[in-house]
Amino acid sequence: MKVDYNYLASLPFSLGNLTELQYLSASQNKLLELPDSLFRHDSKLTSLLINDNKISKLQRSLGAMKHLKQLYLHSNMIVELPTSFYQLNKLVEFSLDWLAYIEKTQEELEEMQGLKQATQEEEQVREHLQTINEQPVSARKYFDSNANETQGDVLEQTQ
């Protein structure tokens, strides 16, 4: 469900009754909080994108969302994460600014299994890209699936 850019000040409590809901994007609204009903232990929600709102606090029951893989909270007014946040073991994508106001450190966030795995995979991609960038331009065309041979040949000739 996508309800972005609607100037919503709240979401209906009945949203929690949508037990099969897997994706909720309510970004770029004026939300101050989320309905408690959304944070159910039987929720199948895997993606919750609530960035660019005015949310200052998350419910303690956030950790009950055992299927959550993607959580975007940036550009809100959140100053603390509930301790249950660290129970989101399947979380792979997490976005939050205002980190200066949160007591947990980067190391503690990376202890979360999903985020730890995502961080390791991101590092592997960075290393692979660095290897590609260190190759001579003529070798790079074989790594770039978007380049056609004409572009690669022109690059070789200009070197």
- The amino acid occupying position 70 is Q
**Residue-level pLDDT at 68:** 95
Residues 53 and 8: their CA atoms lie apart, in Å, by 9
Number of C-beta neighbours around residue 56 at 10 A: 13
State the span(s) of the chain assigned CATH 3.80.10.10.
1-104
Give pLDDT tens digits along the chain (159 positions).
999 999 999 999 999 999 899 999 999 999 999 999 999 888 999 999 999 999 988 999 999 999 999 999 999 988 788 889 889 999 999 888 755 445 555 566 666 666 655 555 556 656 655 665 565 544 444 444 444 444 444 444 444
Alpha-carbon Rg for the chain, nearest whole angstrom, is 21
Q: CATH classification of 1-104 is 3.30.460.10, yes or no?
A: no
**Residue-level pLDDT at 150:** 41
Supply angle C-alpha 123, 69, 108, rounded to 5. 60
Contact between 82 and 60 (Cβ < 8 Å):
yes
In 3D space, the residue among 55, 48, 47 whose CA is nearest the CA of residue 29 turns out to be 55
For the record, the structure tokens of 133 come out as 């960038």
Output phi, psi for 7, to 5 deg.
55, 30
Residues 64 and 82: their CA atoms lie apart, in Å, by 12
Number of C-beta neighbours around residue 7 at 10 A: 7
Residue with tokens 């202890």: 111
DSSP state of 89: T
